[in-house]
Structure 1
Amino acid sequence: MFDTGDEVRLLHYSGDATGNDNRGRDVQNTFVAKEFAVPSEARTVTLKFRMYDAGNNWYWAMDHIRLGTSPIEG
Structure 2
Amino acid sequence: MVFYSSDATGNDNAGKDVQNSFVTRQFAVPAGASSVTLKFRMYDAGNNWFWAVDHVRLDSSPIKG
Post-superposition offset of 1:64: 0.2
Partner of 2:4: 13
Equivalent position amino acid for 2:17 in 1: D
Percent identity over the alignment is 69
**Distance in 2 between residues matched to 1:18 and 1:40, nearest whole Å:** 35
Partner of 1:56: 47
Equivalent position amino acid for 1:28 in 2: Q
Which deviations, in whole Å up to 9, do the C-alpha atoms of 1:9-68 show, x marking residues without a partner?
x21112222222112211101111111111123222111111122222111111100011
1:34 corresponds, among 25, 31, 39, to 25
Gaps of 5+ in 1: 1-9
Gaps of 5+ in 2: none
What is the CA RMSD across the aligned residues, in angstroms?
Answer: 1.5
**TM-score, structure 1 as length reference:** 0.72
The aligned length equals 65
**Distance in 1 between residues matched to 2:44 and 2:17, nearest whole Å:** 15
**TM-score, structure 2 as length reference:** 0.80
